[in-house]
Structure 1
Amino acid sequence: MDPYEHASSGWIPNDDQLNDVDELEKLEQDLMPQPDDYYGILNISKTASEEELKVSYKNLCRSFHPDKHHNEEHKRIAEARFQVIQQAYEVISDPQKRVIYDTYGEEGLKATWEVGPKFKTPEELQAEYEKQARLKREQDLDNLVRSRGEVQLSIDATQILDPYEPPVFQSFGQPTITPKRKGPLHALTKGQVQQLFMRHSFETQLGPQTRVTFGGSMVSRNGMGGGNITGTLRHSVSPKLFCELNATLLRPRGVTLKTIYNMSSDSFCNTTIQSKTIYSPPIVTVTTGRRLFAATTGYMTYRSGEWGLLGWGGDVSRSMDKSHVALGLAGATGAKQKGNYSCELQTGIIASHLAADYTHKMDRQMRLRVAGSISTVGGLTASIGSDHKISSNTRFAMSMECGVPTGVLMQFKVSRLGQKLVVPIILSSEFDFRLTFLGTAIPAAVAMAIDQWILKPRRQKQIKLKIRELREQHADILANRKAEAEDAQKLVSSAAERKTKMEAGKKDGLVIVKALYGHLENLDEEEENDADQETEGVIDVTVVLQAMVNESRLTIPSGHSKTNICGFYDPCLGEGKQLMVEYRFQNQLHRVTVKDNAALIVPMRAHLI
């Protein structure tokens, strides 16, 4: 069993469906200056009620409304900041606009699309326009004609690892025959190409709901071969019903009709009708399934095999395609669904099996797959494999399969932009524990060593360089947001002083003694206690949080970055940030630290809302 070729049930996604985002690309997306988060600006959660929205808006108006300030500079700053607050409130307070914003973001509220963030030069805007146009042309071309290809080269290496040398018989009276010296690479000449398989297809759109695929395949084995041309028509009858018609042009000719019907969001029924000749009834396969749990689907498959009806189909007692029934489960595991599994039990007249496989997505764009089966036809097989993302469009995979009586097989696969090269190598025709151990333990140890000592340091270096590059690229935007945050702190300083005196006079008053935001690991104990000491990557937000205190409580909902709150900015782009708050409540000093995007409720303990 090849762990890269799952059972026909198809519940586990294939390589084309697993479009992992490259780590550096994801980093670039995460560190791209994002548009203002309206919920963060208003300091409310996404599930906030209309009453909570009004209360938060009134509190912000007390600090940022222009009429509250008499100093000309402060009045000018307040006008600019209040426009942002007012815009956020107008969107979130409107039910229709709020739905659009929650679904499509700020872009969904605009009539026209703007290219790139603000503060870009005309040259940068032109470069981004060209980039977006190029990506759109590539996407349109890929949608117009989708090309898929596969080349599979099967190699028999049994004679390389265990060569057979026929004995040399010397006749009486003949001179002694000296064997020829053999070079170190002589064993490699014993390898043989067992089979060559090639397949290629093109897919194009015929209509809004119809696609057609043309393809061809050929196979060559031991000097003999054949091929065929196939055509597939896919049509979406309705959002719940999809049909697919497949036909082959050359011998052996056949027609296959598939239907996929989603009875509801939790259940489906797939049917396949395959006809090879008009002289026998078609083979029917029906699969029905239902979601049993949030990430688990159960299914049942029935295949009729070759059968006869009142003489139609002739004598089917000697046919090898017999009926069978299969029950299976498939789903995902883990909080982030990094694992996918499937297990199947099949019972049939000739072939029965129990098969299972598990795929786990690891960090650094790597997946591990383990599979095993016990069958009345194939015996006992087990396999383990891994694949790695080499670049944004290229993956490399390798697997080792061993079984009784199938022997030991190693397979390599390279896939790029829909094209695949598969090289299975037969190491032994019988089960060999030594080959199995050497083919799994040694490559695994080498892969771990390379990953730990070469790839991981190289990746960390690339990430540091990328962060430095992004910081330089977005320096103007970051500087502008820092200036906006410092201006906001000037506006709320008087409100913070007033609230500090008011809260200090209460019995249960809340006074923010010290609040720091940023990469707190950069702080040492002396710097943390020194109020006047400035540390790179850390900013003091004591004034901002004191101004946000309302009725002896400070609340910062989860779900948005602290940088969206007035008076905050990102002091260390690309690094993990925390918020540390030291406060006095009921004449006792407390301290709480939360991560960015986490909720904070003071004087209660930090927890997610």
Structure 2
Amino acid sequence: MDPYNFQDSEDIINNEDELKKLEAELAPSSADYYGVLNISRKATDEEIKEAYKKLCRFFHPDKHTDQEKKRKAESRFQVIQTAYEVLSDPKARIIYDTYGEEGLNASWEVGPRYKTTEELREEYEKQAKRKREQELENLIRSRSEYQLTLDATQVFDPYEPPAFAGFGGNTVVKPRKRRMPWDRIAKTQVQQLFMRHSFQTQLGPQTHAVLGGTMLSRSGMGGGNLMGTIRHTLSPQLSGELTTTLLKPRICSLKTYYSLSSDSFVNTTVQLNSIYDPPILSVTTGRRLYSNTSGYMTYRTGEYSIFGWGGDSSRKMDKSSVSLGMAGGNKTGNYSGEIQTGIMDSHIAGEYRYKLPHQGSLQLTCLLSTQGGVAVTVGSDHKLTTHSRIGLTLECGLAAGVIVKFKFTRLGQKVTLPIILSSEFDLTLAFLGTLIPASAAIALEQLILKPRRQQKIQEKIEQLREEHKEYLENRKREALDAQSLMEDIAKRKKSQEEKKTNGLVIIKAVYGNLENDNEAIDVTVVIQTLVNESRLTIPGGHSKTNILGFYDPCLGEKKKLLVEYRYRHRLHQVIVEDKSPLLCPVEAHLV
């Protein structure tokens, strides 16, 4: 229905491994210069200069006479000095905001840094294995589909033949034998079996060949065919493919795809079913209407006759039609709609697919047709592993009845199991067909998939903590050194604030996982030093681990900052997220 094919499929679904994303997020990175100076990303030159002066008061080496404190101050002051030099230079600041510290150094890392040659070798082997698998997949491009349709109408609406008494006399009719539930299940019949397999290989830089086969078995009868396709790209704007079957019925089709511009296209399909009939022509033209929405129009000739070529056109079942459609997508989901008018069939169709977390989706399709009446499809799709997915769908309509479909896909292989519950619309079966698969999907997500994801994430976090143990210990030592340099000025500021009528005194400040004392650190000294003129301001937009005196006590866990303070001799308390801004005092913080 949608030429732009906005629907999710095995080919277009982004299967980026969540653990790799987690590893990238938790990898050691350079300090955020805005966090070091405790300023916002929109800070003016005066604000940058003022923040630099404040930090110099207790981190400049010349401010300390003790040699140990001077050594600690020198290492921290280098970071402060670098942050100030970059952010105070307009050109360097633009480069830093766009490319980060790598842009300033003009040197790009090929990959992550590893501590030992053994770790480097293991990572190289992993990358080589993934590359070989991808090359093999690109070389073969194998696709298979298996569909087994089961007829379970007798399970829910069993047919019992009537029992008749004997002719004449008083014949006693024996009562029917009571049937057990599994006796009904045994009445399920195989209605249809369909199989399709294809593989693709590259013949040249712009040419690919696809060889496939199909097989269909229905009610004890069946057939199959082999087909071959040649795909060739003539130019960046024009490509086409030629498909023909090798066995009867012999069908030949030619498809072309032409891009008029970056926002419009024209696709054509010419299908020849027999030399005794003229070819069926289909033309689709589309254009991008908005940034995320496209519209299209399709005209299909159907079967017809020209001057006797094609026989009696009144006997043809495939008639001409014209359809108008619209399709689009955004971060939350994809949608499409179509209106078709034709001699044999006219319909209005709409579909919406809502994206769920962890690469899942919910689908709702509605169809109003002159042939099939009203039909509604509700389904869900979930990711099991990196390369496998499972889907559950309920189809119900006046003509189609009630059908439940189970789908499993893995690396281009798809298995579909449609189960016909009723040949007519049944509200009770439709409700049960929705409730049972939905309950199964929720149970699968909550009892199996979610715990497994959490376990893998926790294992990955433990692995990263061990891998970056040395880095984390260095960051902790640097933060504690910074706190020791802040102690004197923190005591002096606290004493000054206590003497004021409207003074802001920090009683307690804790950062980290507040639900676990072992994963939280005391940052009272740091927060007190950030108080200026009875006000505390911490800009957001960056992790608070970048603030001098902070470090990450719980890598991979959700971190918060708790601050208890006294203002106007009244107790206040506030909890903010890691990257959220903080402004004190605020009346809403009053306990």
- Give TM-score scaled by structure 1 length: 0.79
Deviations 1:226-274 (A, max 9, x none): 232122234762xxxx4331211333111111234555xxxx3232111
Q: Secondary structure at the match of 1:359?
A: strand
Residue 514 of structure 1: aligned partner: 508
Deviation at 1:31, TM superposition (A): 4.0
Q: Distance in 2 between matches of 1:125 and 1:9?
A: 42
Deviations 1:98-138 (A, max 9, x none): 555545544554535264356x3343333233334434444
Residue 377 of structure 1: aligned partner: 371
Q: Distance in 2 between matches of 1:202 and 1:253?
A: 19
Residue 570 of structure 1: aligned partner: 552
Q: Distance in 2 between matches of 1:262 and 1:553?
A: 57
Aligned 1:149-164 pairs, distance under 5 A: 149-158=144-153
Q: Distance in 1 between matches of 2:137 and 2:35?
A: 39
Q: Distance in 2 between matches of 1:572 and 1:394?
A: 32
Residue 529 of structure 1: aligned partner: none
Report the residue type matching 1:154 in the other structure: T
The question of whether the paired residues in 1 share the 8 Å contact of 2:2 and 2:325 is answered with no
The question of whether the paired residues in 1 share the 8 Å contact of 2:303 and 2:319 is answered with no
Aligned 1:63-462 pairs, distance under 5 A: 63-93=58-88, 98=93, 101-107=96-102, 109=105, 111-113=107-109, 115-117=111-113, 120-142=115-137, 146-158=141-153, 188=186, 191-202=189-200, 207=205, 212=208, 214-221=210-217, 222-234=221-233, 237=236, 242-250=237-245, 251-261=250-260, 263=262, 268-277=263-272, 282-291=281-290, 297=293, 299-306=295-302, 320-328=318-326, 330-332=328-330, 337-363=331-357, 365-449=359-443, 451-452=445-446
Match of 2:584 among 567, 579, 602: 602
Deviations 1:150-194 (A, max 9, x none): 33333444456556677899999xxx9x99999957964762251
The question of whether the paired residues in 2 share the 8 Å contact of 1:144 and 1:205 is answered with no
Report the residue type matching 1:597 in the other structure: K
- Give TM-score scaled by structure 2 length: 0.81
Deviation at 1:508, TM superposition (A): 6.0
Report the residue type matching 1:580 in the other structure: L
Match of 2:528 among 529, 538, 546: 546
Deviation at 1:375, TM superposition (A): 1.0
The question of whether the paired residues in 2 share the 8 Å contact of 1:408 and 1:428 is answered with yes
Deviation at 1:568, TM superposition (A): 0.6
Q: Distance in 2 between matches of 1:424 and 1:163?
A: 19
Q: Distance in 2 between matches of 1:7 and 1:254?
A: 20
Q: Distance in 2 between matches of 1:93 and 1:134?
A: 46
Q: Secondary structure at the match of 2:548?
A: coil
The question of whether the paired residues in 2 share the 8 Å contact of 1:297 and 1:331 is answered with yes
Match of 1:537 among 490, 497, 519: 519
| 2:55 is the counterpart of 1:60 | yes
Which has the higher mean CA deviation after the structures are superposed, 460-469 or 35-44? 460-469
Deviation at 1:561, TM superposition (A): 0.9
Residue 575 of structure 2: aligned partner: 593
Report the residue type matching 2:584 in the other structure: V
Q: Distance in 2 between matches of 1:281 and 1:437?
A: 41
Q: Distance in 2 between matches of 1:375 and 1:511?
A: 72
Q: Distance in 1 between matches of 2:81 and 2:307?
A: 80
CA RMSD of aligned residues (A): 4.2
The question of whether the paired residues in 1 share the 8 Å contact of 2:140 and 2:199 is answered with no
| 2:38 is the counterpart of 1:43 | yes
The question of whether the paired residues in 1 share the 8 Å contact of 2:478 and 2:549 is answered with yes
- C-alpha distance 261-595 of structure 1, shift in aligned 2 (>3 A): farther
Q: Distance in 2 between matches of 1:281 and 1:466?
A: 56
The question of whether the paired residues in 1 share the 8 Å contact of 2:152 and 2:187 is answered with no
Q: Distance in 2 between matches of 1:211 and 1:500?
A: 76
Report the residue type matching 1:569 in the other structure: Y
Q: Secondary structure at the match of 2:107?
A: coil
The question of whether the paired residues in 2 share the 8 Å contact of 1:407 and 1:428 is answered with yes
- C-alpha distance 521-280 of structure 1, shift in aligned 2 (>3 A): closer
- C-alpha distance 258-312 of structure 1, shift in aligned 2 (>3 A): farther
Deviations 1:383-422 (A, max 9, x none): 2222222112211112121111112222221111232222
Deviation at 1:593, TM superposition (A): 2.0
Q: Distance in 2 between matches of 1:508 and 1:342?
A: 60
Q: Distance in 2 between matches of 1:395 and 1:411?
A: 14
Report the residue type matching 1:360 in the other structure: Y
Which has the higher mean CA deviation after the structures are superposed, 474-483 or 178-187? 178-187
Residue 528 of structure 1: aligned partner: none
Q: Distance in 2 between matches of 1:141 and 1:70?
A: 66
Q: Secondary structure at the match of 2:252?
A: coil
The question of whether the paired residues in 1 share the 8 Å contact of 2:40 and 2:540 is answered with yes
The question of whether the paired residues in 2 share the 8 Å contact of 1:281 and 1:313 is answered with no
Which has the higher mean CA deviation after the structures are superposed, 353-362 or 131-140? 131-140
The question of whether the paired residues in 2 share the 8 Å contact of 1:12 and 1:340 is answered with yes
Deviation at 1:305, TM superposition (A): 3.0
Q: Distance in 1 between matches of 2:139 and 2:587?
A: 55
Q: Secondary structure at the match of 1:520?
A: coil
Q: Secondary structure at the match of 1:559?
A: coil
Deviations 1:450-479 (A, max 9, x none): 555566556555555554454444433322
- Structure 1 unaligned residues grouped into runs of 5+: 1-5, 523-534
Deviation at 1:51, TM superposition (A): 4.4
Q: Distance in 1 between matches of 2:369 and 2:327?
A: 18
Q: Secondary structure at the match of 1:408?
A: strand
| 2:528 is the counterpart of 1:561 | no
Q: Secondary structure at the match of 1:79?
A: helix
- C-alpha distance 48-454 of structure 1, shift in aligned 2 (>3 A): same
Deviation at 1:301, TM superposition (A): 2.2
- C-alpha distance 309-196 of structure 1, shift in aligned 2 (>3 A): closer
- C-alpha distance 473-21 of structure 1, shift in aligned 2 (>3 A): same
Q: Secondary structure at the match of 1:387?
A: strand
Which has the higher mean CA deviation after the structures are superposed, 565-574 or 55-64? 55-64
Which has the higher mean CA deviation after the structures are superposed, 345-354 or 134-143? 134-143
The question of whether the paired residues in 2 share the 8 Å contact of 1:515 and 1:540 is answered with yes
- C-alpha distance 571-349 of structure 1, shift in aligned 2 (>3 A): same
The question of whether the paired residues in 1 share the 8 Å contact of 2:286 and 2:294 is answered with no
Deviation at 1:196, TM superposition (A): 1.2
Q: Distance in 1 between matches of 2:81 and 2:137?
A: 43
Which has the higher mean CA deviation after the structures are superposed, 415-424 or 180-189? 180-189
Q: Distance in 2 between matches of 1:252 and 1:217?
A: 14
Which has the higher mean CA deviation after the structures are superposed, 393-402 or 568-577? 568-577
Q: Secondary structure at the match of 2:515?
A: helix
Match of 1:476 among 470, 473, 483: 470
Q: Distance in 2 between matches of 1:39 and 1:56?
A: 10
Report the residue type matching 2:576 in the other structure: V
Residue 18 of structure 1: aligned partner: 13
Q: Secondary structure at the match of 1:67?
A: helix
Percent identity of paired positions between Structure 1 and Structure 2: 46
The question of whether the paired residues in 1 share the 8 Å contact of 2:52 and 2:84 is answered with yes
| 2:483 is the counterpart of 1:495 | no
Deviation at 1:484, TM superposition (A): 1.3
